[in-house]
Structure formats: structure tokens, C-alpha cells
């Protein structure tokens, strides 16, 4: 009967490299300039896209607050109609549209389907995502207009 020995390679203990070379190990700390994202348009648009979540979150928190206020009934509820609120809502709408557009434009890269063992072109996937967005927008607009009447 043969015996099998396991030769396990163990990592050196902390500081072993320093003991061998006589110097303390150095950690790599990459340095990036503060405005690194301003140097290229691609980076700038990426940071703007990531920033769009903040105004959207603030607007949605406001919406939840308004829904809570409306739960007391129509007598005590007055929806905000100030010019500042309207301007903020339009700006947030722009951010939401930009965020949605950039996300759906990447659908062809993220999603891959095969139909009859042939891959569906990414352009078809992107166009289908935009078509679904348009249909959903029309349905929601129709429902909201129907409730307003």
C-alpha cells in the first residue's frame, strides 16, 4: 500500500519579505488627480450618469412624503405648485431620461439571446428595449390622463 503525502505550499508569514531584504514592505498607493473624470468626455458622462441617482432619490423621497400627506384626505392636502418645485421636477425628469437612455443603450451588450441557435443582433435587442419603454410610457400616460378626468 502506497502512502500519499500532501506537499502544501504555505504563504510566508507577515514580514518575512522584510526580514529577507532588510527593509519594510511598501504598499502600492495609486494617486489620481481630483479632476481625472474631467479629462475625457467618456469619463465625464459616466460620472454624470452615476450622479443622476441622487436627484432621482431626492424626488422619490419627496413623492413618498407627498403620498403620506395625501393620506389625511383632500381637505388638508395642497400639492406643491411653486416655480422652484416645477423647475426641480423638470431637471429630475431630464436626469431620469438620460439615465434610462444610457441604461437601455447598453442592453445589447448586457443581454444576449439566441433564436434557433442564432444570436439576436445587439441592435435588435436595444431597439426592443426602447420600444418596450415607449409602450410602457404610453400606457402609463393613458392611465394617468384617465384618472385626471
**What is the distance between the alpha carbons of residues 31 and 43, in angstroms, rounded to a whole number?**
17
Instruction: Delimit the domains of the chain by residue range.
Output: 51-148
> What is the domain class of 51-148 according to CATH?
mainly alpha
Q: Residue 2 — very low, low, confident or very high, per pLDDT cuts 50/70/90? A: low
Q: What is the pLDDT of residues 58-105, one digit of tens each?
A: 999 988 888 888 887 777 777 777 888 889 889 999 999 998 888 888
Phi-psi region of 112 (alpha: psi -120 to 50; beta: other; left: phi over 0): beta
0.85 cut: is pTM over it? no
Range 98-113 average pLDDT: 84
Tell me what pLDDT residue 66 has: 82
CA-based torsion, 113, 138, 59, 76: positive or negative:
negative
Tell me what pLDDT residue 21 has: 61
Amino acid at each position: 500500500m502506497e502512502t500519499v503525502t500532501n506537499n502544501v505550499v504555505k504563504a510566508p508569514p507577515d514580514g518575512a519579505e522584510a526580514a529577507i531584504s532588510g527593509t519594510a514592505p511598501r504598499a502600492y498607493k495609486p494617486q489620481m488627480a481630483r479632476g481625472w473624470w474631467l479629462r475625457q468626455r467618456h469619463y465625464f458622462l459616466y460620472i454624470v450618469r452615476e450622479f443622476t441617482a441622487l436627484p432621482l432619490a431626492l424626488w422619490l423621497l419627496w413623492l413618498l412624503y407627498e403620498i403620506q400627506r395625501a393620506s389625511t384626505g383632500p381637505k388638508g392636502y395642497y400639492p406643491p405648485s411653486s416655480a422652484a418645485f416645477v423647475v426641480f421636477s423638470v431637471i429630475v425628469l431630464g436626469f431620469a431620461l438620460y439615465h434610462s437612455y444610457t441604461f437601455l443603450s447598453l442592453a445589447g451588450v448586457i443581454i444576449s439571446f439566441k433564436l434557433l441557435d442564432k444570436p439576436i443582433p445587439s441592435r435588435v435587442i436595444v431597439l426592443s428595449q426602447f420600444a418596450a419603454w415607449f409602450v410602457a410610457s404610453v400606457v402609463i400616460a393613458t392611465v394617468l390622463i384617465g384618472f385626471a378626468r
